Amino acid sequence: MLILVGLGNPGAKYASNRHNIGFMAADVIHTRHRFPAWRKNFQAEVSEGTIDGERVLLMKPQTYMNESGRSVGDAVRFLKLAPSDVVVIHDELDLPPGKLRMKVGGGHGGHNGLRSITSQITDGYRRMRLGIGHPGDKALVHAHVLSDFAKADRDWLVRLLDAIADNAGELVKGADSTFANRVHAITEPKPERKPKPEAAADKPAPGGEPAPEKPPEKNAMAAILKGLLSQKTRR
């Protein structure tokens, strides 16, 4: 069994925060792979399902970020798993927004969620680091991670979360490099091409018929995130 842990803080107040990108990734994986409803266990919201035939326990610790290790430690000890059977999905200040890197072991880099998990299960777990960018001043970090994603972030965020869910099969097989490369290929911005004059959106299609309407967005999660990121959280 593999444990996929999305890190974040529980409650509507934090739902759209940059610090909660791990929760968001877990939610998209949950929806895309048709996991059963979330339930309470191990001081977390959990759901057990399969991805490409492999058993996976999705977790969203409800202990708040700084105590995430209590939840993860409970699950690892109960299920008798090794740290290498755990993938932690978390926000990463040292990566540009939308970038993903996989890593095994190493320090916590000042991330309190990782610090807590390491204290419980050692540092031998796998990390999925999701870039949220750095505000440029250490004094601004706290406010940056606990502020909401902007509407302008929505496009790259949806692409990233969709790519993670679509390629989760590589993740559960332990093919971290292949997983990261596939996500990168999907999320890397493509050069813009100027449309040909005859391809203009308002030009009728051959035969005098109006041009077909733009197809709907890829999946419901894009619409959900659109609503989530367009709302202003009440403080």
| Residues forming a β-bridge with 102 | 128
Q: Residue 151: what pLDDT?
A: 93
Q: Residue 107: what pLDDT?
A: 82
With contact defined as beta carbons under 8 Å apart, do 6 and 35 qualify? no
Q: Residue 215: what pLDDT?
A: 45
With contact defined as beta carbons under 8 Å apart, do 31 and 6 qualify? no
Q: Which of 19, 30, 33, 144 is catalytic?
A: 19
Mean pLDDT for back-to-back runs of 10 residues, the chain (235 residues): 97 96 98 98 98 97 96 98 97 95 88 95 97 94 95 95 97 96 90 64 54 49 56 44
Q: Residue 108: what pLDDT?
A: 83
Q: What is the pLDDT of residues 61-88, one digit of tens each?
A: 999 999 999 999 999 999 999 999 999 9
| Active-site annotation holds for 142 | no
Q: What are phi and psi of 233, to 5 degrees?
A: -70, 135
Helices 154-166 and 21-32: crossing angle in degrees, nearest 10, is 50
* Cα distance from N-terminal residue to C-terminal residue, the chain: 39
Look up residue 75 and give its amino acid.
Answer: A
Whole-model pTM?
0.82
With contact defined as beta carbons under 8 Å apart, do 54 and 172 qualify? yes
